Structures are given as C-alpha cells and as structure tokens.
Amino acid sequence: MNKILIANRGEIAVRIIRACKEMNIKTVAVYSEADKDALHTRLADEAICIGPANSKQSYLNIKNIIEAAYLTKADSIHPGFGFLSENAQFAKICEESNIKFIGPKSNVINLLGNKSNSKELMKKVGVPVIPGSEGSVNNIEDAIIVCKEIGYPVLLKAASGGGGKGIRIVNSPDELAQNLNIVKQEAKNAFNDDEIYIEKFIKEPRHVEIQILADEYGNVVHLGERDCTIQRNHQKIIEETPSTIIDEKLRNKMGEAAIKAAKAAGYTSCGTVEFLVDSDKNFYFMEMNTRIQVEHPITEMVTGIDLVKEQIRIAAGEELKITQKDIGFKGHSIECRINAENPSKNFMPSPGKINELNLPGGNGIRVDTAIYSGYVIPPNYDSMIAKIIVHGVNRNEAISKMKRALEELVIDGIDTNRDFLFDIIRNPDFIRGNYDTSFIEKKILN
C-alpha cells in the first residue's frame, strides 16, 4: 500500500492523512469546489478537485473519485465515515478496478447495510436482537399483525437507514398507517430504498456500542464499549468510555456477542456493533457499522491503539498483532462534538468565516478538527466542525477536563453548540451517570 486516496473531507480526512504520514504512505486529497481551501487539501501530498459543492456531484460521485484514483495512481481508497463509507456499490467498483477499499468486502457491507437482513443473521447465530418483524414490512396489513404480536410502542425503521433518518415511534394503532407512509417516504428520499422494518421500542435505553477489529485470517478482537446515549434526534452528541452501567462481566459478554456478529458476517476491518441496553442490563443488537466511527478517538485514548492505522494494516493484508489479552482499558475518556449551529434557533446551521480561533490543549486533551482561523465553513455539508476528546484517570477527572476544554474553546464569527454541550456536562444527572436516550429532551431542552 503506497498511496491512499481519502474519499472524504473535514476532520476525518485530516485524521487519516496524519495516520498515513506516520506510516510513510503517500496521500491524495479529493475536494469539491467549496473545499478548495480546506485543511485536508493542504496536508495531503496531492489534491484533486472532483466536482462542485453539491456532494452528489463530488463526494458521492463514484465515477469522479475512481478517475481521481487512476489519475494519481492511488492503489487504495479510504472512505472515512459518511458519504460513500458504507456504500456496497462503491466498494464493489473499487474491487473491480483493482483499487483496495479500506473497509470490509462489498458483499459484507451489503449484508450488514440492510438492517432487517443483518438482524436475521444475528438471530441465527444467537446474538440477542430486539423483538420485531421477520424481515421487511411492505404494507399496513402486515404492519398491524407485527405490532399486535410485539405490542406498542414500536419503532418503524428504514432497512437501509443510518444517521437517525427514517425512524418513527408509534404508540398506538391509530398512529400506524400515517407513520408507515411517512417513514417509507423518508427512507426513499434518504436512501433511495423505501423498505422498512418494525421493532419493539425499548423504553429508557442506553445506546452502547462495541468496537471490533477483524483481519483477513479469522482473528477478531473487541476493544471495549462506547456509551453513545447522549443524543438529539437520534444523532450522537457526547460519547464516553467506559460506560457507567457496564461492568467487566457485561463488557465481556457484549464483546463476545460483537465478535460472534463479526465472524458470522465474515467481517474484516475496523467496525462497530451497536446495542441497546435496557434498565435490567439486557442488551439487544441494533446494527453493525462497517466503517470507522466519529467517536473512535475515545477508544484510542483508553486502549492506546490507533484504530485508523490498524484499519490500514488490515486492508494491506497484515495479520492482527493484537490479541484479546493484550487489550486493556486505562482511565476514562469523553468526546464532545462541536457543531456549527445555533441551539437557541432550533439548532440552525451556522456556516461562515472563522475570525478568531482558540483550541483547548494541555495534558489529556485532544482536538480533531479541520478548521483554522480565517477558514470559511461552507453551507453544503454536515455541521460538525471539531471533536474535543479528553482523557482522565477516572470519570470525574475527565468531566473536569472537558469543562475546562469547553471554557478554553473560542470560535468567533459563527455560532456553535459549545454552551449547549457545557450545560450537558455540568448537569447533575449526567455527572451521576443517570441518563438514557431521552436525556436531552427531558433534562436540557425541557
């Protein structure tokens, strides 16, 4: 693996470029016309424009990305997260073009990308799943039968979903027909696939995911959990590890289930198995993300393992040098996502020029970002512009460090969610670890 093209932008593109530099691998940045002055274009060895600002014409344009790889003689493509990272067709075209896709095989992405099919696979191999429909539900008659069997409330979910899109809670039969059509339309608009499925809605759950690494020789390890429960509109805002509700016994049990899931799917690369954990500590498989996660740095902070480098090594055909007994967990880590948005105006995006920038620093603080003073944030993409990651000897110290880091952060010229995050971090229930997925709506926005 001599040259990697990064088919992404923003902080994840910068993160991958830095890992490649440390591994002495050449890099190619691709960018849209809106990103011509972006940091990732400056840090890479080469940069090539792949289209206009509209992501469909640039970062989602498979033809242009493959052509860019050929033009620059890149032998591999790293998709980062979002955009084409879980696109089975893109992975397949890379395979057919003799370009190494840094991720799992296209057939595995296709299998796990369909939530109803992946759920069926997990049931077959004994991974606990949330009660729900046997595969997809195509009409109201079938939906009524399923909902009667599992009981209300239920979740209607897009089979090809992700990012919190195509999800609705239904509390009664009266709400079913209308919401069924809405979710099918949302799924069609977001994923070009109106297939949906139904599952039991778990009240007051924790959203806990397990990080895994799997090589091409059948070796699979887990790197513990990340608690991603603090969410707004199904979008993660704050993540931490270890989870306040997971003890060593449950961690091992969930880790074993995640490894079983990866092996059942024939998974290779870095991946994440997501679970819901109820108030009785029962856990249920939700989905498997076939890519590096936004929140991967907190796992790196407590394990000392560079996940992006491991992902690249696996794609290069190397065998995992890490065994399960080698993996330990030191201290506590928290990540806050910094978004260019205005919480007081219903989280309205806030693109624009950064006039002044001060990023926090010091012992145990890491900032992953692609912004700089004078940078103009374009209005065309996701509002996340940075991630602040802290590491402390315990959770209390990690919270104190995050408070200090947020206080030091200055991004002048645009609105951000900094103060909103600060309200969460200092909330007594968060400090006590007493929260579930409804925390933001009940404790912060109420």
Q: What is the dihedral of CA 63, 68, 70, 76, to 10 degrees?
A: -100
Q: What is the DSSP string of 409-420?
A: -EEETS--SHHH
Residue 241 contacts residue 208 (beta carbons within 8 Å): no
Residue 34 contacts residue 53 (beta carbons within 8 Å): yes
Residue 117 contacts residue 136 (beta carbons within 8 Å): no
Q: Which of 206, 291, 366, 395 is catalytic?
A: 291
Catalytic, 226? Answer no
Nearest by Cα to 296 from 385, 221, 212, 360: 212
Instruction: Extract the tokens encoding 248.
Output: 């060593």
Alpha-carbon separation of residue 173 from 151, 154, 180, 187, 388 (angstroms): 10, 10, 11, 21, 43
Alpha-carbon separation of residue 441 from 47, 60, 147, 444 (angstroms): 42, 33, 26, 6
Alpha-helical runs (H) found in 323-416: 395-408
Instruction: List b or e across 59-73, with b for residues whose CB sees 16 or more CB atoms inside 10 angstroms.
Output: bbbeebbbebbeebe
DSSP state of 266: T
Radius of gyration of the chain measured on its C-alpha atoms: 21
> Hey, how many other C-beta atoms are within 10 angstroms of the C-beta on 200?
20
Alpha carbons 7 and 411: distance in angstroms, whole number: 27
CA atoms within 13 A on the CB side of 320: 24
Alpha carbons 380 and 57: distance in angstroms, whole number: 12
Alpha carbons 291 and 273: distance in angstroms, whole number: 11
Nearest by Cα to 285 from 124, 414, 146, 130: 130
Active site residues: 291
